[in-house]
Amino acid sequence: MKKRMIVATLLLFLAACDGEPGPFPPPSSRSSASPLPSTPTLASPTPPARPSDPPPTSGDASETCLNGWLSPAVDSPLYRRPLRIIGRTVQLPGQPTVVEMRYFTGPESPPSEKGYLAVVERWYVRLYTEDDLRFQGRFLVESRDFGDGVAAVAPYDTEGFRSPDWSGFQWEDTEPSPYPGLPGAWQGIRYDFVRGGAGLDFPGLPAEVRGCLDTA
């Protein structure tokens, strides 16, 4: 129960917590005497790849995408909401160009019997900005009754839900830092959102909705 409450509290900011070694260096590896770069090291400033054909607008329900998914209508409340959440989490260098957006619902990870955690709204968004092509990435936005936020971010040119593509950030009152391959600068301690860790033995997405991020 204590771990469940810790996760719920942290999700008001970004996601759960970690810090274990693996694909990412632990926070302590950065010397306190080493200043952060003045200019974030963002994704390569090249035009992002666009699908040759329009992406699908819906996906059927399956064992790994419990209720299926749909692409919200452009400029609808369901479309604007994740963009607003992304914009308040990381500084956008201009208006975003959305390449793909999916909306889906499913259980908490791990499953919870609490009513306010029974159904989590999630958006998968791939976007970039014309004003600064270094800002390009994939975002996972989550909303619960007690709050919403960006749960994880991945490089633009990755696919699906695989480790170590997806990074989450445990809340910590630090200056935002840039990370190679990720758009913008992020506050907190980076961890592998796919694998979980630090005593929380569950992934960021439950098995029932992982497939909602699969490519067609």
pLDDT given at position 167: 93
Kindly report the number of other CB atoms within 10 A of residue 126's CB atom.
22
pLDDT given at position 114: 58
pLDDT given at position 18: 35
| Residue-range definition of the domain harbouring residue 119 | 2-24+56-213
**How far is C-alpha 174 from the chain's CA centre?**
19
Query: Rounded to whole angstroms, how far apart are CA atoms 212 and 121?
Result: 12
Query: Rounded to whole angstroms, how far apart are CA atoms 140 and 162?
Result: 13
Encoding tokens for residue 174? 């630090």
On whether residue 40 sits in a domain, the answer given is no
pLDDT given at position 112: 58
Kindly report the number of other CB atoms within 10 A of residue 70's CB atom.
15
Residue by residue, pLDDT tens for the chain (216 residues) are 433 333 433 443 333 333 333 455 444 333 333 333 334 444 556 778 888 788 899 999 999 999 999 999 999 999 999 999 999 999 999 999 999 999 999 998 766 555 555 689 999 999 999 999 999 999 999 998 888 999 999 999 999 999 999 999 988 888 999 999 999 999 988 889 998 754 456 689 999 999 999 986
On whether residue 143 sits in a domain, the answer given is yes
Phi, psi of 187 (to 5 degrees): -100, 135
Q: Which residues contact 76 (CB under 8 A, 6 or more apart)?
A: none
Q: Specify whether the CB–CB gap between 35 and 213 falls below 8 A.
A: no
Q: Half-sphere exposure (CA, 13 Å, Cβ side) for 69?
A: 28
On whether residue 61 sits in a domain, the answer given is yes
pLDDT given at position 32: 34
Using a 10 angstrom Cβ sphere, with 0-12 exposed, 13-18 middle and 19 or more buried, the burial of residue 104 is buried
On whether residue 33 sits in a domain, the answer given is no
pLDDT given at position 47: 73
Task: Tell me which residue of 150, 183, 155, 156 sits closest to 16, measured CA to CA.
Answer: 150
On whether residue 49 sits in a domain, the answer given is no
On whether residue 147 sits in a domain, the answer given is yes
pLDDT given at position 51: 80
pTM of the model: 0.79
Sheet of 147-155, strand order? 58-59, 69-70, 96-106, 120-129, 136-144, 147-155, 167-170, 189-192
Q: Specify whether the CB–CB gap between 108 and 118 falls below 8 A.
A: yes
Q: How distant, in Å, are the alpha carbons of 148, 185, 210 from that of 43? A: 26, 11, 25
On whether residue 44 sits in a domain, the answer given is no
On whether residue 42 sits in a domain, the answer given is no
Q: Specify whether the CB–CB gap between 108 and 120 falls below 8 A.
A: yes
Q: How many domains does the chain have?
A: 1
